[in-house]
Chains A and B, each alone.
Chain A
Amino acid sequence: MAVVSRQDIEQVALLARLKLEEQELATFSAQLDEILKYVQQLQAVSTDTIEPTSHVLPLSNITRPDERRPCLRPEASLNLAPARHGQLIKVPKVIE
């Protein structure tokens, strides 16, 4: 039985902001299903008393002095935008 349904895949694609073609939806459904079935072998590992590791170094709360420092000129960043309007980045209409 499939682990992921076609409906799941469509929902995930929307969440991930990917517009997928019909062909891609079909291919990814099958491939993700195969991969997810493979990773289910982890369920065989007993982890009830195990803490998760999200990060390997024992570092926490790295801070720096709260001081003014040089930063990029606004122009250096704005120049990278695909579309701009003066000192603003231009995007398609946001509100209906």
Chain B
Amino acid sequence: MTIHELRAAIEGGRCDPRQVLDELLERIAQHNPRLHAYIRVEPERLRAALQERLQRGPRGRLFGIPITIKDNICIQDEDTGCSSRILTGFRPPYHATVIERLLAEGAVVMPRANMDEFAFGSSTESSHFGPTRNPWDPDRVPGGSSGGSATAVAADLALGALGTDTGGSIRQPAAFCGVVGLKPTYGRVSRYGLIAFASSLDQIGPITKDVQDCALLLSVIAGQDPRDSTSAPVEVPDYPASLGQSVSGLRFGVPKEYFVEGIDPEVRDAVEQAAKTLERLGMRRVEVGLPHTPYAVAAYYIIATAEASSNLARYDGVQYGYRAANGSRLQAPGSRPPQGDLIEMYLRTRAEGFGPEAKRRIMLGTYVLSRGYYEAYYLKGLKVRTLIKRDFDEAFERCDVILTPTSPTAAFRLGEKLDNPLQMYLSDIFTISVNLAGIPALSMPCGFTASKLPIGMQLLAAPFQEPRLFQVAHAYEQATDWHRQTPAIALN
């Protein structure tokens, strides 16, 4: 069931939200042990939260509706841990702004959708709590880092979810799981209470079963927030109003740089078919160039790790989270002079608290920011970012939206890329430029491989043009039935 269907049923008095939650919890009890979309679910707390909502409201647009939350968005007094050991025991003393906005519409928030540790990954395998599995084929990854949110939505263990996207972490798992995911324009949604990965790239966004739900959730969470100085002073349009409008006469751009070597032919064909569908709907295809695309992954892994290494410096075992037990003083790395007890505590806390991918990114980020390398790496990365952004500025002079595949392949197997970080990074090749340029992008299902794995296509627009994305995505969705197909597991 979608959010908008449930909303209509609740408002029409045809449906008791308590029964909906009970059925959801039953499905979670049945399937979560295998899929591991949620790190932990506490049925009694959720029932109590729903009861409180039903009694006291508010009767908003999400009244009585459970919304699943990725584990890096702060919920007051609920364990929030970025799927990391280092945040063990952390219960935020405040809500993220997006949580306040969901609650103000009457929603029930369901915590702890699994994720890659600190959102570092494209497969949800780097979670301290173990991987999430793809509901279409449990031997495959759900994508990442918002793999828990995407799996929960696809397997009908959630009505809708919030994820976060720094380099594709909403869109790539949405593609792998056959659902809709939106990375909003940078600054569209407040990041207050989002545990930071890369502050100039991170955005919170919806993962849903269809485009209408996506528009509804964005309309709830979007808007300027005095507590996030990077949230944009731009009015929030009526997103649902953009649904159902004709797309005839609009232009979609197809960048040749996204149809290159390494792309799975099944993915290429599905997106080509989608282009034909858009043409049948009256849209005009134009070829566009995004010539700096080949440099996006390199620029991204400099900028994102540099920001991450700074953001993660705060995890030192002092103010919150995990602290290594006191032990005998060990020798610091290499043959260096003995460190003081406090430094020793930092070294051990971080060594024990972070997993391998977090350590790798902290190391890489520290390296590219260190004296002697800053200009060659970090500054160079920022300049290439300017060029990537310009590519999009120029392309959007010639078209209203851009159509690309979301990922070069469908879901890969668990363990397939775990020992090769560079291969894992390259799986984000089609999603990363969007974050560097700060533009909005939506991934939605556009077909299946021969082995019945979902294929995702991506629609990109100029900054704050989310209504255009919803308009085109909804028209495509109405013309196809990919979004109505569900994994066998969701039917049980």
Give chain A's interface residues, CB within 8 Å of chain B: 4, 7-20, 24-25, 28, 31-32, 34-36, 38-43, 45, 47, 50-57, 59, 62, 64, 72, 76-77, 79-83, 89, 91-96
CB 8 Å contact bits of B315-359 with A (1 = contact, 0 = none): 011111111001000101110100011111111101100101001
A59→B345 contact, CB < 8 A: no
CA distance A12 to B360 in the complex (A): 11
Contact of A42 with B380 at beta-carbon distance under 8 Å, contacts A12-B363, A93-B342 already known: yes
B95 at the interface (CB under 8 A from A): no
> Is there contact, CB below 8 Å, between A77 and B367?
no
A7 (CB) vs chain B CBs: closest residue? B334
A91 touches which one: B342, B387, B438 (CB < 8 A)? Answer: B342
- Of B292, B313, B316, B350, most A-chain CB atoms within 10 Å: B350
Do A4 and B367 contact each other (CB < 8 Å), given the known contacts A19-B332, A19-B350? Answer: yes
Residue numbers in A under 8 Å from B348 (CB-CB)? 19
Determine how close the nearest CB of chain A comes to the CB of B340; give it in whole angstroms: 6
Q: B250 at the A/B interface (Cβ < 8 Å)?
A: no
The distance from the CB of A33 to the nearest CB of chain B, in whole angstroms, is: 11
Residues of B within 8 A of A (CB): 89-91, 93-94, 186-187, 200, 226, 229-230, 232, 292, 294-295, 297-299, 301-302, 309, 313, 316-323, 326, 330, 332-334, 336, 340-348, 350-351, 354, 356, 359-360, 362-364, 366-367, 370, 376-377, 379-387, 389, 421-422, 425, 437-438, 463
> CB-nearest residue of chain B relative to A78?
B319
Residue of A nearest to B234 (CB): A57
**Taking A14-B336, A38-B298, A81-B320 as contacts, is the C-beta distance between A50 and B387 under 8 angstroms?**
yes
Q: Which residues of B contact A14 (CB under 8 A)?
A: 332-334, 336
The answer to whether B422 and A92 touch across the interface, beta carbons within 8 angstroms, is: no
Q: Report whether A82 and B200 are in contact in the complex, using a CB–CB cutoff of 8 Å.
A: no
Chain A residues near B389 (CB, 8 Å)? 53, 56
Q: Contact check: which of A20, A38, A81 meets B333 at CB < 8 Å?
A: A20
Nearest CB on B from A70, distance (A): 11
B326 nearest CB across to chain A (Å): 7
Q: What residue in chain A is nearest B232 (Cβ atoms)?
A: A57
In Å, the complex CA distance between A52 and B306 comes to 15
Min CB distance B395 to A, Å, is: 16
Measured CB to CB, the nearest residue on chain A to B329 is A92
- 7 interchain pairs (CB within 8 A)? A36-B364, A39-B381, A50-B386, A52-B383, A59-B230, A62-B230, A89-B318
Q: Which residues of A contact B381 (CB under 8 A)?
A: 39, 42
Task: Chain B residues near A91: list those with CB within 8 A.
Answer: 318, 342, 345
Whether A18 contacts B351 by the Cβ 8 Å rule is yes
Are B340 and A94 in contact (CB-based, < 8 A)?
yes
Given contacts A18-B354, A92-B342, A96-B340, contact A12 B367 (CB under 8 A): yes
User: What distance in Å separates the Cβ of B365 from its nearest Cβ neighbour in chain A?
Assistant: 8
What residues on B are CB-neighbors of A82 within 8 Å? Answer: 317-318, 320-323
Q: Which residues of A contact B316 (CB under 8 A)?
A: 17
Chain B residues near A9: list those with CB within 8 A.
Answer: 363
- Partner of A42 from the list B187, B230, B298, B360 (CB cut-off 8 Å) is B298
Question: Are A56 and B384 in contact (CB-based, < 8 A)?
Answer: no
Task: List the B residue with the shortest CB-CB distance to A63.
Answer: B229
How far is B195's CA from A54's CA once the two chains are assembled, in angstroms?
20
Closest to A13 in B: B333
New A-B pairs, 16, CB < 8 Å, besides A35-B301, A53-B389: A4-B367, A16-B350, A16-B366, A17-B350, A42-B302, A45-B292, A47-B387, A50-B387, A56-B389, A59-B230, A72-B93, A76-B93, A80-B89, A80-B90, A93-B340, A94-B340
Select which of A13, A41, A83 is within 8 A of B295 by beta carbon: A41
Question: B341 contacts which of A19, A36, A92 (Cβ < 8 Å)?
Answer: A92
